[in-house]
Amino acid sequence: MPEVVIHYCVPCRYQFKAIQDADAILKEFGEELSGLRLVPGAHGVYDVEVDGTLVFSLDKAMRFPETPELIRKIRAKIGATTKARRRKA
């Protein structure tokens, strides 16, 4: 089962956005995830990873993710992960 990690900047006060996104992710994927972690950081970071693969970066996009966009990106990654696991089984 995949894990989602949100790295967010504490000095920038991105914690509220991270909590909102985490809530939306949990509502959408619930038990499909092995976990969801919020990792405090600095230097303007707001990155979202699925199983260690970056699916969104504030630095690269130069904007925050819209919630539906983030859900789509995570779903695409989880779908790819699920298909790969089925092939191995």
Q: What is the pLDDT of residue 81?
A: 56
Domain holding 23, by residue range, is 3-88
Q: How far apart, in Å, are the Cα atoms of 80 and each of 10, 13, 46?
A: 32, 33, 23
Residue 83, domain CATH: 3.40.30.10
Q: What is the pLDDT of residue 84?
A: 47
pLDDT digit string, tens, across residues 21-46: 999 999 999 889 999 999 999 999 99
Q: How many domains does the chain have?
A: 1
The whole model's pTM is what?
Answer: 0.88
For residue 56, the Cα-to-chain-centroid distance in whole angstroms is 7
